[in-house]
Structure 1
C-alpha cells in the first residue's frame, strides 16, 4: 500500500486468533477429496488462482474465526490486522424445489447413486445428474458467485475471501452434503427423498427384490439370461448403455444389495478403460 508520498507501507500483520479454524493441509494444495479439488479448480478457472493463494497462509494460521453454510450463502468472519474481524459473504443461487425434485428422480433411477449418498459419499459422476436436469452443481461461471468482504481491499477476492474459500473446500471434504446444502437441499431432506436399494424394486416377474432376497444363487442364475423387459434405469436418465442395464433383474442380493448393483461399477470401469 502506498502513502501520500508514493512510498509503500509495510504490510500489516494479522492479529493472532485463539481457537481459529485452521486448515488441515500444512503445505501444497488444500482439499483432499475429488469434490473439493474440483471446487478449487473451478475457482482457478474463473481467474482467481493468483488471488486465492494470498489467503492460503490465512487459512493455515487459523485467521478464519467462523464459517457457516446456509442455503445460497457462506458467511465467515476473518481476523485481519484490525481489532474488528472482517465479515465475508460468498453467495450462490439455490435450486427451486421443482429442480431438486427432478434431480432426486434421476438419482432414484440409479441404485449406485442412492447407495453412495446413503453411505455419505459423493459419486464422482454426480455432476452429470445435475447436467441431465439442466443444472450445474458447482458454479458454472464467475457471475454465479457474489463475493463481499468488509475489508478496504478493492481486489476481489481479497485474502480474507480467499481464506474462506479454502476453509469451505475443507468443509466439503468433511461433509460433501455441504455442497448440496449450499445449493438449497440439506442432508436430511435429500436422503429422505432417496429410495434404499431393494425397497419395493420390481423384478422381472413382477415381484419385489425384498420378496426374492432369499433366492439361492444357483436357482436364480438359471433364468438370469432369459429374455425379459429391459429395466428402466440410468441408461434412460443419463444416456449410458451399460451391458448390465440391458439384462433383466436376477432377483439375487449380495449383502442386501442387488447383484446388478454390485456388478454395475465393474461394468462401468471396464467401459471407461477399454
Structure 2
C-alpha cells in the first residue's frame, strides 16, 4: 500500500477499500469535518467521489494531508487538509502520558489510538482546515476535500501513526522516544532491581583496564589428518568427492597456517578443477573417479578428455605445466639454437620448431616461460600430444623423462 516513506513523509499510492471509517478514531476524524460543514449535498458528493476512486495518491507530512482529486474537469484539483502540529512541549506531555500508561503504550503498538489521547491528538470541530484548487468558492469543505477526508479516515483506521505524523512526529522517532521514556519509568519504579539478563555497569565496561596477554598459539601440526569416512548414499553427495574436498581443504588450511599464504587462491574454475582431477590418474579410473571427472568436466564446460590431458599436465609440473599445455608463445631464438644441436648430439634426431615447440614424430618438447622444457608424446600418425615425464632446464633430460 505504501510506496514511499521516510520518518516524516509517507505516500500511499492506494488506500484500503471502503469509505466508511471502521474505528472510533476514524469516525471522530470524519465527524470533525462534517461538523464544520452545513452542506449535506457536498458531503454526499464527496462520499461518492471517494467511493468511485477519484482520490489519487495521498501524501501525509506534519500538519498536512495532500492529494489530487479528479472532478468533472480533465485536470485534477490539488486538495489538502491541514491541522496544527504539536510544539515540542506538547509532544513532551503526550509522550510522557503514553510512556507512563502501559495500556496506552500497548494499544498504540497494536495499532490502536489510546482513548486517553482522544482529546489530545484527534482534531476538534473547526481544527481540521480544508483547502482546494477547485473553483468552488462556497463555504468549505468542497466535495473534493470531503472525498479526501473520507479516504484519509481509512488510512487512520489502518495505522494510528498516520494521525501522530499529522501532529508532527514520525513513527521511528516516536517509538525510540517511547522506549527511552518507558525504560526511565521502569527504572524509577524499581531502582534497585537487578536486570533480567547478564550485564555489567557502564562505568565498569568503559573503564580503562589492562588486558591479559594472548595465549601462545597452538603448535602447527606436522601433517593433515585423515578425513572422516563418508557412507555411500544414493540420495547424498558422492563419498569420493566429499573425501577429496575435505582432504584438499585441510591441506590448504595447513599450508596457510604455516606460510600465511594460499598459493591456490588465484586459480580459475578450470585450473582448480584440473588440480582436483590430477589427484586421480586417468589410467584405470574407478567408478567414483569417473564420476568425479565427469562432474568436473561438466561444471567447467570441457570434455573429460580435456580434463584428463590437463590433469596429466598438472601432475607433470603444476600450474606452469598447465599453462604450457594451453598457451603457445613465441620465445627468443637462443634456447632453440642451443636445444636443437644438443638433441642431435644425443642421437634424438632432428626436431622441427613451431613457436615454443620442437616436434619429431611421436615426441615433442615445449619451452615454458620460466625456461624449463616439458616433454610430450603422441602416436606417430596423429597430433594428439600428452604431457609426460618431468620438466627440466636441459631438453635432453626432459625428453628422457
TM-score, structure 2 length as denominator? 0.41
- CA positional deviation for 1:36: 0.2
Corresponding residue pairs, total: 182
* Aligned residue in 1 for 2:70: 79
- CA positional deviation for 1:194: 1.0
For the residue of structure 2 that corresponds to 1:55, the secondary structure is helix
Residues 209 and 191 (structure 1), Cα distance of their counterparts in 2 relative to 1, 3 Å cut? farther
* Aligned residue in 2 for 1:208: 193
- CA positional deviation for 1:59: 0.5
**Is the contact made by 1:76 and 1:164 (CA closer than 8 Å) also made in structure 2?**
yes
- CA positional deviation for 1:46: 2.6
- CA positional deviation for 1:84: 0.8
* Aligned residue in 1 for 2:157: 173
Residues 65 and 211 (structure 1), Cα distance of their counterparts in 2 relative to 1, 3 Å cut? closer
Runs of 4+ residues over 4 Å off in structure 1:
20-23, 196-200, 202-206, 209-212
**Structure 1: any 5+ residue segments left out of the alignment?**
1-19, 131-136, 213-274
| TM-superposition CA deviations, 1:114-134 (whole Å, max 9, x none) | 222223322233225x3xxxx
| TM-superposition CA deviations, 1:203-262 (whole Å, max 9, x none) | 8774338549xxxxxxxxxxxxxxxxxxxxxxxxxxxxxxxxxxxxxxxxxxxxxxxxxx
- CA positional deviation for 1:167: 0.5
**Is the contact made by 2:47 and 2:146 (CA closer than 8 Å) also made in structure 1?**
yes
For the residue of structure 2 that corresponds to 1:90, the secondary structure is strand
- CA positional deviation for 1:49: 6.6
| TM-superposition CA deviations, 1:12-44 (whole Å, max 9, x none) | xxxxxxxx856622xxx7110111011112223
Distance (Å, rounded) in 2 between the aligned partners of 1:187 and 1:169: 18
Higher Cα radius of gyration: 2
How big is the alpha-carbon RMSD for the aligned residues of Structure 1 and Structure 2?
2.7
* Aligned residue in 1 for 2:135: 152
**Structure 2: any 5+ residue segments left out of the alignment?**
1-12, 198-401
TM-score, structure 1 length as denominator? 0.59
* Aligned residue in 2 for 1:24: 17
Distance (Å, rounded) in 1 between the aligned partners of 2:182 and 2:106: 10
**Is the contact made by 1:77 and 1:88 (CA closer than 8 Å) also made in structure 2?**
yes
* Aligned residue in 2 for 1:10: none
- CA positional deviation for 1:70: 0.5
Q: Relative contact order (C-alpha < 8 Å, sep 6+): which is higher? A: 1
- CA positional deviation for 1:47: 3.5
